[in-house]
Amino acid sequence: MLDELKFMDSYQFLDASLEALVENLKQSNHEFKIFNKFFENEMSRSLLLRKGIFPYSYFDSLNVLNETCLPAKESFYSALHGTTVSDEDYKHANVVFKAFKCKNFADYLELYQSVDVVLLAEVFLSFRRTALKYYELDPVHFVTAADSTWNAGLKLTKIELQLLNNVNDYIWFENQMRGGICLLGTRHKVANNPYIRDSFNPQKPTNYIVALDANNLYGYVMSQFLPTGSFSWLSKTEIEKFDILNSKEESNVGYILEVDLDYPSHLHVLHNDLPMAPEHFSLTFDMLSPYAKDLCSKFNLTSTLPYVETFEKFLSRCWVRAICSDELSD
């Protein structure tokens, strides 16, 4: 925020190229009122109502502004995308250069920037009107699409979330968070598939491998019954009477539990790839397998970065052959 100016990233709301966004507006019969104020005639509409091209890497000096024509097609190479422009786009850029009587590269730069800004204004204002129409919320008052969507959800459902005012309660909830484990990490499996004749063994049981993908995990969870407020701790008597098997998943009253689990030993191997109850856990050295304990001591070090003091102590305790590659000092 700078005085009355507020800088926002439109890509945080509309994560598509300007070319694609403008094309969507054209297909929806958008009137392009802002564009028509700046570019009134039909020629402008036919030539400029699209994303232009610009040789970003080529423009490395102010002297380029004085050039009287566009550079060669190869100069439009994009290091970001690893490609250059198409013959059609390059031809179109030269048509624009001549049609708008650009005397030099500076004129083309000014035209390119003006069109970009006007088209982005068309796209984003159309997005704002849609958001105001359906949610009565203006995206410019939020930082990202996720931020505005979250508030739209709260507004439409008329749910008020209770804020935790006890730091211990907050820490307790935070410790219940889990993440990271969302797949069965089986790295190697052999099937005895009768449809694969080269490897099928009729003397062994038939089995298959199937790949399953569960989509929209986050969306699914967010559509379930979720805690919103009226938090309270159960008394000792209530805990003793609590029967989890009789609790209903779809209920206006829910429970978050903290329990000790005795995980049956015979299930450890079966559940090895996807444990049923993941937890935050700090391993000690004694818990490591012999392989894991020995792993860090077997290999030479390549491009490691010790401090001089650390390296001197290292040299005094073992024989090494050091190869200096680069040296950085301040």
What pLDDT, in 10s, does the model give residues 42-77?
A: 888 889 998 899 999 999 999 999 999 999 999 999
> What percent of the chain shows pLDDT beyond 90?
48
User: Considering the domain boundaries, does residue 214 fall inside one?
Assistant: no
Residues 170/179, Cβ–Cβ less than 8 Å = no
pTM of the model: 0.63
**Domain of 95?**
10-157
Residue pLDDT, tens place only, 122-151 = 999 999 999 999 999 999 999 999 999 999
User: Considering the domain boundaries, does residue 86 fall inside one?
Assistant: yes
For position 142, what pLDDT does the model report? Answer: 95
User: Considering the domain boundaries, does residue 38 fall inside one?
Assistant: yes
**pLDDT interval class at 87 (50, 70, 90):** very high
How far CA 53 is from CA of 15, 43, 70, 96, 111, in Å, comes to: 19, 18, 11, 11, 11
Domain count, the chain: 1
Select, from the ranges 97-111, 162-176, 312-326, the one with the highest average predicted confidence (pLDDT): 97-111
How many angstroms separate the CA atoms of 248 and 254, rounded?
A: 8
Res 322 pLDDT > 70 = no
User: Considering the domain boundaries, does residue 279 fall inside one?
Assistant: no
β-bridge partners, 83 = 78
User: Considering the domain boundaries, does residue 27 fall inside one?
Assistant: yes
How many angstroms separate the CA atoms of 175 and 256, rounded?
A: 12
User: Considering the domain boundaries, does residue 83 fall inside one?
Assistant: yes
For position 86, what pLDDT does the model report? Answer: 93
Stretch 232-244: mean pLDDT, rounded?
A: 91
User: Considering the domain boundaries, does residue 113 fall inside one?
Assistant: yes
User: Considering the domain boundaries, does residue 293 fall inside one?
Assistant: no
